[in-house]
Structure 1
Amino acid sequence: MIISNHIPNEEESIIVHKIEELRQHLINAVLDINSFNDEYVIELSQELDTYILQLQKKNYSLRLKDKRKAGP
């Protein structure tokens, strides 16, 4: 979910899709394996974290640009 007033570009759409896909894989893995400590679950979680951070950085950068355009 992108919390911003701008229209997502293709790169953001791809990242959001990947986040949603990994999130579902993570949920399924936890339900199947019944453990949060399993190596595979941890790897999925870390990969998901990477994409979430990437999207957050992108959105933060856009907010900074918007603030600079708005002026003091």
Structure 2
Amino acid sequence: MPKNYNLHSISFSLISSGIFRGNLSNPAGESAKQCGYAYKKFIQEFPNYEVDLILSAFGSAEFQNAKDELESLP
């Protein structure tokens, strides 16, 4: 947990979203969605703790899929 170590940013590589995509139709989007849910949960639990979420994607198509998924989160 970032808060335990006084960290203010966390980065996730959207693994298995490029050439090793597995069986998911949108692996970058699914990875981004799960990261987004975890981030939202963290900031709800600690609203006064500033932390940035950084995602890295395999390429521009994966980046766009991840961005679209994050923008559609409730």
Instruction: Tell me which protein shows more helix as a share of its residues.
Output: 1
**TM-score (norm. length: structure 1):** 0.42
Whichever structure has more strand as a proportion of its residues is 2
Task: Name which one, 1 or 2, has greater alpha-carbon Rg.
Answer: 1
